[in-house]
A and B are shown apart, each in its own frame.
Chain A
Amino acid sequence: MTRRFSWFNATSLTLGFTFLYLPMLILIIYSFNASKLVTVWAGFSTKWYGELLHNEAFLDAAWVTLKVAVLSSTFATVLGTMAAYVMVRGGRFRGRTLFSGMIYAPLVMPEVITGLSLLLLFIAIGLDRGVVTIVLAHTTFSMCYVSVVVSSRLVTFDRSLEEAALDLGCSPFDAFKSVTLPIIAPAVISGWLLAFTLSLDDLVIASFTSGPSSTTLPIKIFSAVRLGVSPEINALSTIMIAIVAIGVITASLVSKQAIARRQNEEQKALKQ
């Protein structure tokens, strides 16, 4: 059945997406404004991007943020995949309810509480605040997101494939590596990407768990933003928006191709 937009649906979609995208569009346009006054247009210029490149503080913060994001999302992916496996395939064991509770609770926990509690822990055990503590904190909350993403994939996955591999003489680890992992790989990758963006994005938990030498980009942006709108922050935001947009669009195109290829192969296999 081919459907067409009714006027009502077309209007609500247009208004809705204008609302979602106009603020960011304005921000991007004004990042190319020559004037220091953020609401007065004074001609096109890229000078704020140039100044950004010479701002040591921002570059340092960006480097710290990137390090934290790569490390924490990798740890979170490993731990989250393990947790998902335990939840879906682990069967019954003592403390399972507590385990699943601890997986879901951080998803709804207000960030201020997560941040506060982790900071109090780090102080109690005498761990100096720095990159390590931020990585620990980010790993903890993003592993829960990863495990939700991965377990939704594991649930739909046919267990007999794994059993067949075991029957054919694979060790459990080999079966995981050559059967399970390729099938859940898209979920694992999107889990990693989710963990990575959560870490890049996080202001509140990082503020609680960072030390003076480990300021992340969101902390830096937040302290600048409190003083008002600035063209440099607009430029920085534009760069970040561009990176995310390119990343998400590429990822969706790649996965679309992968799905098409798989369907193609399945059809070929059926014909044979």
Chain B
Amino acid sequence: MNVRRLFLIFVPYLWLLALFLVPFLIVLKIALSDGALAIPPYIPTLDFSNGWEGIKTFFAGLDMENFIFLTEDELYWRAYLSSLQIAAISTAITLLVGYPIAYGMAKAPDEWRPTLMMLVILPFWTSFLIRVYSWMGILSQEGFLNQFLLWTGIINDPLTILNTNTAVYIGIVYTYLPFMILPIYAAIEKLDESLLEAAEDLGCSRMQAFWLVTIPLSKSGIIAGCFLVFIPALGEFVIPSVLGGSKTLMIGKVLWEEFFSNRDWPVASAVAVILLLILVIPIILFQRNEQKQRESEG
């Protein structure tokens, strides 16, 4: 192995070890520590000056107390469950909204497609925070949606939408929609049109052909899109704190408050560790789906 190759491997490797893996080990360690009124606010701290004794007392000081605390306090259970629920429901809505758009794009005239593609990607480059914020003016009591509905006479009293879970659903669907559209579009676009013609020749109606051919063949895109929405939605912080209310429980928000407001670092770290453990399952499933797709493409 030559020096150049070693250098090329080592620089990014060391960077990631130092700024990704080590920080994560620190989180794990603090999750096993006890809170304390000190700076930094947890004990024990690793002290190498006492040699082996220091390391031994360090490990003796670690325990599962914070994790037991999380299982005992109902708040955390409810936060994890409601994050899962919010992420799952909004993923389903995003799929329902995104599929027809992706389908329409894939079936659009060829000369239209680059433009449509750019229209989907453009919001992705725009600030996430601004896109979430833009809904505040629409959903508030005297916002545009209420003004519009009152004007049409559908409702007589303004609806309360901002600062509820409904607003959080709208926010997630809106901001993550491009993540759902793009993989589904890619899957439908690859689909061989002659398969649909064959299905129709064999007596399927267009609707049947859609359910029996298009949907199954775009399954990998659907799965990829769902994971791309579900995984980030689960740990979301910005949307529940801008659009949600005090009753909106999402784990990203709980972690933030535990850390910044309660200054309980060990509990915040334990919350983070459990959130990651929950995320491992969908991430592995997502990777399997990607792998399978790559293999089927050769």
Name A residues whose Cβ lies closer than 8 Å to a Cβ of B.
2-6, 8-10, 12-13, 16-17, 19-21, 23-24, 26-27, 30, 38-39, 79-80, 82-83, 85-86, 90, 93, 95, 99, 102-103, 105-106, 108-113, 116-118, 120-121, 123-124, 136-137, 139-140, 143, 147, 172-173, 197, 200-201, 203-204, 218, 221-222, 225-226, 228-229, 233-234, 237, 240-241, 244-245, 247-249, 252, 256
Contact = CB atoms under 8 A, between A and B. Distances in A.
A85 B5 CA distance: 10
B191 interface: no
Contacts of B13: 86, 95, 99
Contacts, number: 229
A222 B8 contact: no
Contacts of B129: 201, 203, 218, 221-222, 225
Contacts of A123: 40
A207 B109 CA distance: 45
A113 B129 CA distance: 18
Contacts of A247: 125
Contact of B101 (A5, A13, A137, A234): A13
Contacts of B140: 39, 229
Nearest to B24: A117
B19 A120 contact: no
Contact of B16 (A21, A102, A111, A117): A102
A86 B12 contact: yes
B70 interface: no
Contacts of B125: 197, 244, 247-248
Interface string B115-145: 0101111110111111101111110101110
Contacts of B177: 16, 19-20
A121 B238 CA distance: 23
A110 B4 contact: no
B19 A110 contact: no
5 contacts: A26-B137, A27-B134, A116-B269, A200-B127, A233-B133
B104 interface: yes
Nearest to B17: A102
A105 B19 CA distance: 12
B21 A39 contact: no
A109 B21 CA distance: 12
B276 interface: yes
B143 A39 contact: yes
Contact of A3 (B110, B241, B255): B110
Q: Which 4 A-B pairs have the closest CB atoms?
A: A110-B235, A117-B23, A16-B101, A12-B100
A225 B109 contact: no
B12 A79 contact: yes
Contact of B235 (A99, A111, A139): A111
B226 interface: no
